[in-house]
């Protein structure tokens, strides 16, 4: 019997996993079969035929033909097409959000939020379609005029991961569409249904609006043939850019292969992310940020919080509050479509086994499990989030534990200047090595209350991959984000100005 969520989106329990363009879905049945499951109970949701090499070749051929038409379509007109897609996604937000929660395992509010991200990026791309500006420059040659105009890149390939099964595609596809590109999507084999539904929603909106096909879809199976098809996609010189979201290990491989053919790649990879909590931090802000950062999406985000470095003066208080918050979450783990639950399951039984192995690895390194650390049901993806405190030895095994809603905590000696700012003053501690030199950190965060000189020095000298400062003041909360930069002097000037304004 077809699940009601699939029915609401016009899908059957045996949908085609390949959109060939021209309104045609492939009927291939001999290239393997995907069986996406509901990670809450292990139920198979549908059987999705994988794509064949012939399917893929037809997709690329039709995408090339579509590009010749789409690139000549005026950019504001392309923006109108994207607007129709965003409107259609808004209409189907509830059902698509439910499917994301059902198939991936994240909570219903997170599933809805992911669809909202699709809508938001669509609205951004609509505006972008009228802002593809170029420069006009003076030429050194008499009687000449120089100007630049941005041109479409061609076919953009998107390879997305299971943890954000629809939003990552939209971030790429809707912007690419506004810029005049055609998009071919290969989703995770764990979440093909969410991808199929998204393609159906957007392409039907385009068709009703009188627009051609600009989004194509193929699904590789979990077997060797599926892996080979994905690799052919990465190696295909006809694909102007490959956008890959997934692990750092695989992303490095993708980047190298695309570079080998002088193609372009856009990589969004895994993170081993940390938060530093200063003695001045507002714990009403810090505790929810840490907990949601760690247990949201059951800890399966590239931006999930993995490690917390706490100033020693507040260490005991922060740890106690974190443990209490985790215990509240433990009582509300289960079916992600149930609004009473706060956290859904890990996406697969393999992820649960990796979670259990990580706990043993942390214990072996001398870690103390403060709370959680057990599978609720080994046969499904449900597991308790956990907190542990390993020794400050920078253990490679502990540093690279897999996903799974865990936080490792470290109490840092004070004062702050000696402990974490500048980072290089900590040659013997895990903190300096783990944050400032960690090659796969992604969203490291510092939380503080004021912007005194010591915090500005942290920004300048620690070179964190991403630093977020929050200044509590009568005017509200100020957010400051700095991407990895060798010189943050311009930002410091801004901070000094804002600091004077607020004080």
Q: Which residues contact 216 (CB under 8 A, 6 or more apart)?
A: 19, 20, 21, 59, 62, 63, 182, 183, 184, 185
Q: Which residues are catalytic?
A: 268, 302
Written as tens digits, the pLDDT of the chain (503 aa) is: 789 999 999 999 999 999 999 999 999 999 999 999 998 888 999 999 999 999 999 999 999 999 999 999 999 999 999 999 999 999 999 999 999 999 999 999 999 999 999 999 999 999 999 999 999 999 999 999 899 988 999 999 999 999 999 999 999 999 999 999 999 999 999 999 999 999 999 999 999 999 999 999 999 987 655 688 999 999 999 999 999 999 888 999 999 999 999 999 999 887 777 777 877 788 888 888 888 888 888 778 887 887 787 777 888 888 888 888 888 888 888 888 888 888 888 888 888 887 778 778 777 777 777 777 777 765 655 665 655 553 333 344 444 444 444 444 444 333 322 222 222 222 223 444 445 545 545 555 666 565 554 555 454 444 443 333 332 222 222 223 323 333 333 333 333 333 333 23
Distance from C-alpha of 254 to C-alpha of 270, rounded to nearest angstrom: 14
What is the reported pLDDT for 298?
79
What is the reported pLDDT for 97?
97
Burial class (CB in 10 A: 0-12, 13-18, 19+), 318: buried
Q: Which residues contact 278 (CB under 8 A, 6 or more apart)?
A: 311, 416, 446, 447, 448, 449, 455
What is the reported pLDDT for 156?
97
HSE (side-chain half, CA atoms, 13 Å) at 436: 20
Q: What is the pTM of this model?
A: 0.80
CB 270 within 8 A of CB 302: yes
3-state SS, one letter per residue, for 148-217: CCCCCCCEEEEECCCCCCCHHHHHHHHHHHHCCCEEEEECCCCCHHHHHHHHHHHHHHHHHCCCCCCEEE
- Residue of 287, 364, 334 lying closest to 101 (CA atoms): 334
């595609």: which residue's tokens? Answer: 169
Q: Which residues contact 51 (CB under 8 A, 6 or more apart)?
A: 17, 18, 26, 28, 31, 218, 219, 220, 229
- Residue of 309, 311, 282, 276 lying closest to 416 (CA atoms): 311
Helix (H, G, I), strand (E, B) or coil at 269: coil
Kindly list the structural domains of the chain, giving each domain's residue range(s) and its CATH number in brackets, ordered by start: 4-268 (3.40.605.10), 273-502 (3.40.309.10)
What is the reported pLDDT for 421?
25
């Amino acid at each position: 019997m077809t699940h009601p969520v699939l029915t609401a989106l016009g899908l059957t329990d045996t949908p085609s996993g390949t959109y060939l363009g021209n309104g045609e879905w492939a009927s291939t049945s001999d290239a393997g079969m995907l069986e996406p499951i509901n990670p809450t109970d292990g139920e198979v949701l549908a059987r999705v035929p994988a794509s064949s090499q012939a399917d893929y070749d037809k997709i690329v051929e039709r995408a090339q033909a579509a590009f010749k038409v789409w690139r000549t379509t005026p950019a504001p007109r392309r923006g109108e097409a994207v607007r129709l897609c965003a409107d259609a996604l808004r209409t189907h937000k509830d059902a698509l959000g439910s499917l994301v929660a059902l198939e991936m395992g994240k909570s219903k509010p997170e599933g809805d939020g992911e669809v909202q991200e699709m809508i938001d990026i669509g609205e951004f791309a609509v505006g972008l379609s009228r802002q593809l500006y170029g420069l006009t420059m003076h030429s050194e040659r008499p009687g000449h005029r120089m100007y630049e105009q941005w041109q479409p890149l061609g076919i953009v390939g998107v390879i997305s991961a299971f943890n954000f099964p629809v939003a990552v595609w939209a971030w790429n596809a809707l912007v690419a569409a506004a810029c005049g590109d055609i998009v071919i999507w290969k989703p995770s084999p764990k979440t093909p249904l969410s991808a199929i539904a998204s393609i159906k929603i957007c392409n039907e909106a385009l068709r009703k609006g009188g627009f051609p096909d600009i989004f194509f879809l193929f699904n590789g199976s979990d077997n060797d043939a599926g892996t080979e098809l994905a690799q052919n996609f990465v190696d295909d010189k006809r694909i102007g850019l490959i956008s890959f979201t997934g692990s750092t290990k695989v992303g490095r491989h993708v980047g190298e292969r695309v570079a080998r053919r002088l193609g372009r790649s856009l990589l969004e990879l895994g993170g081993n992310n940390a938060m530093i909590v200063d003695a001045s931090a507002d714990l009403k802000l810090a505790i929810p940020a840490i907990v949601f950062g760690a247990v949201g999406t059951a800890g399966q985000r590239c931006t999930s919080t993995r490690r917390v470095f706490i100033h020693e003066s507040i260490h005991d208080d922060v740890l106690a509050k974190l443990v209490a918050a985790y215990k509240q979450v433990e009582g509300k783990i289960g079916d992600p479509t149930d609004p009473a639950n706060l956290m859904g399951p890990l996406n697969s039984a393999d992820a649960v086994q990796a979670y259990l192995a990580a706990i043993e690895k942390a214990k072996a390194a001398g870690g103390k499990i403060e709370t959680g650390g057990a599978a609720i049901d080994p046969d499904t993806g449900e597991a308790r989030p956990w907190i542990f405190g390993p020794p400050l030895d920078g253990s490679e095994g502990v540093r690279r534990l897999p996903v799974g809603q865990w936080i490792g905590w470290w109490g840092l000696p004070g004062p702050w200047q000696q402990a974490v700012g500048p980072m290089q003053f900590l040659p013997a501690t895990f903190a300096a090595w783990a944050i400032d030199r960690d090659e796969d950190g992604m969203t490291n965060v510092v939380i503080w209350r004021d912007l005194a000189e010591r915090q500005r020095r942290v920004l300048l000298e620690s070179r964190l991959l991403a630093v977020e400062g929050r200044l509590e003041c009568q005017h509200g909360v100020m957010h400051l984000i700095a991407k990895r930069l060798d010189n943050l002097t311009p930002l410091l000037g801004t901070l000094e100005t804002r600091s004077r304004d607020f004080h």
